[in-house]
Amino acid sequence: MNGWVILVDSEKDFSNAETPHKVITARDYLARPKLFEGARPKIINLSRSYAYQSRGYYASLLAEARGHRIIPSVETMLELRSRTMYEPALPELEDALNRCARKAQHAPKEDFRLLVCFGLCEDERFEAFGRHLFDWFRGPILEVSVNAGEWLTIERIRLRTMGKLNEADGEVFRRALDLHTRRDWKSPKPRPTTRYSLAVLHDPHDKMPCSSQASLKHFMRVADRQSVDVELITKKQLHQLAEFDALFIRDTTSIDNHTFRFAQRAVHEGMPVIDDPVSMIRCTNKVFLKELLAAHDVPMPPSVVLNEEEDLKKAAELLNFPLVVKIPDGSFSRGVHKADDFTAFKAIYDKLFEDSDLILAQKFMPTKFDWRIAVLGGEPLFACQYMMAKNHWQIIKHGNDGSFSEGQFKTVPIKEAPKDAVETAVRAARAIGEGFYGVDLKETREGIFVMEVNDNPNLDHGVEDQGSKDEVWVRLLDWFAERMV
């Protein structure tokens, strides 16, 4: 099936009787990953909520993993969460807004709002603005709050849901949906690029940095020999980002903190960036990774996505105990729990389900170490063994007081790492993108299994670069240089 599919939370929200297209619930879509196997449906997500880790959020996230085309994308959801995220778009959008007002000789005295559905504006005077807005943000229903004055300014842009529309708005939406689904699917137009110089975003106070202060100073020395100017910046310097040519994020990434805003701003500025926002979205969510890697036939441990309490029994039967339970967006071994029996499993599930509509359970695979194969631009960069922390089943052991301990490491040249581990890591990373990724793998009697893909892997001088020395840092610099040509 390659036609249009509409996702709703309840059949009452938008029924099959209102459209010639297939309507299914988001719950069914999440629970049945093979529902459209072999097809590329065009999906419109009309869930009641697009909030982070809501069912609507996961529907768009996993649609991408399944190779389906989806509106709105997770990136759009995240961009429109706050004004700081979409601020780079405002000058261009306000210019389009005011051109429409001048052409229509429209000078409103009071603030007003515009409803834009699939690029169709309810107020025909702002038709061109509606199309322009849809080029920036592919949302089924967008609401723009406008401040009146000699120059109209945009106060807020937000995604709306069907339940928030009145009868008149509903008619606008249905007309827009009909028009939109008659057209060919189009991707957003490419945005103009600009070029500046290299900034490294870091947190000098982070107790578990992905690159230490000493390592970043070493990177700067290598960069200086390569005639590249590198400057360390902090989260307070977002306003200075456009002064640089590129951005290398060495701060702990999350789509819920400043690192995502920096990455998003870099993309808007046309700057090459590691980590890019799409890679963050894909790597920081283990549920997404499970489906994406499965779609690319990359081996992972047997896993079960926990969508509701009934899934607990299925997971226990399939995975046996002990098993591992993960929150979707944990990092540095945090948010990963081992359940030795069903009682512990249920308790962990109840606790984690307070913050996420989906949780991942995986088969427990004990090993003495994990392989970390780093991949840059689709090619292997370094190989390292991370040993388990002493008397623990993970490479990092966190204490209740905030302390932590780590296992030992052993770095080897890429050519000395297991060939199948390197090849599997490269396949996994290429499914994510062309950035810098750390692929964690288990080497077992049954074969090689990918545990996760990290979008900002550790890189410390004397550790991960031990096998290839400064070549690791030089290749990173070359990656940026190639994209600044």
pLDDT tens sequence across 198-217: 999 999 999 889 999 999 99
Q: Residue 192: what pLDDT?
A: 42
pLDDT exceeds cutoff 50 at 63:
yes
Q: Which residue has the higher pLDDT, 378 or 330?
A: 378
Q: Residue 334: what pLDDT?
A: 56
Tokens 């030089």 belong to which residue?
474
What is the tens place of the pLDDT at every residue in 163-178? 888 888 989 999 999 9
Q: Residue 26: what pLDDT?
A: 93
In this structure, the strands spanning 141-147 and 112-117 are antiparallel
**pLDDT band at 191; cut points 50, 70, 90:** very low
Question: Mind listing the domains of the chain with CATH numbers?
Answer: 4-78 (no CATH), 84-180 (3.30.470), 302-363 (3.30.1490.20), 366-482 (3.30.470.20)
pLDDT exceeds cutoff 60 at 132:
yes
d(CA 82, CA 408) in angstroms, rounded, equals 41
What is the tens place of the pLDDT at every residue in 393-433? 676 665 666 666 677 889 999 999 999 999 999 999 999 99
Q: Are 387 and 407 in contact (CB under 8 A)?
A: yes
Q: Span 346-362, mean pLDDT?
A: 87
Handedness of CA 342, 344, 345, 351 (dihedral sign): positive
**pLDDT band at 193; cut points 50, 70, 90:** very low
Mean pLDDT of the chain: 88
**pLDDT band at 197; cut points 50, 70, 90:** confident
Q: Which residue has the higher pLDDT, 319 or 38?
A: 319
Q: Which residue has the higher pLDDT, 421 or 368?
A: 421
d(CA 271, CA 68) in angstroms, rounded, equals 28
Q: Residue 313: what pLDDT?
A: 92
Handedness of CA 363, 364, 367, 368 (dihedral sign): positive
Task: For residue 284, give the amino acid letter.
Answer: T
Task: For residue 11, give the amino acid letter.
Answer: E
Residue % of the chain over a pLDDT of 70: 92
What is the tens place of the pLDDT at every residue in 262-318? 999 899 888 999 999 999 999 988 888 989 999 999 999 999 989 888 899 999 999
**pLDDT band at 328; cut points 50, 70, 90:** confident
Distance of CA 464 to the CA centre of its chain: 25
pLDDT exceeds cutoff 50 at 43:
yes
Q: Which residue has the higher pLDDT, 359 or 100?
A: 100
pLDDT exceeds cutoff 70 at 333:
no
Long-range contacts of 466-474 (CB under 8 A, 24+ apart): 466/411, 467/382, 467/383, 467/384, 467/411, 467/412, 467/413, 467/414, 467/416, 468/381, 468/382, 468/413, 468/414, 470/222, 472/381, 472/382, 473/218, 473/219, 473/222, 473/223, 474/222, 474/226
What is the tens place of the pLDDT at every residue in 390-402? 766 676 665 666 6
Q: Which of 223, 271, 225, 218 is nearest to 249 (CA)?
A: 271
d(CA 255, CA 60) in angstroms, rounded, equals 15
Task: Collapse the DSSP code of 361 into the 3-class scheme (helix H, G, I; strand E, B; otherwise coil) and give the result.
Answer: strand
d(CA 408, CA 392) in angstroms, rounded, equals 13
Q: Span 449-465, mean pLDDT?
A: 93
Distance of CA 62 to the CA centre of its chain: 11
Q: For 352, which DSSP code? A: H
Residues 6+ apart with CB under 8 A from 251: 201, 202, 203, 206, 209, 210, 235, 258, 259, 456
Residue % of the chain over a pLDDT of 90: 59
pLDDT exceeds cutoff 50 at 194:
no
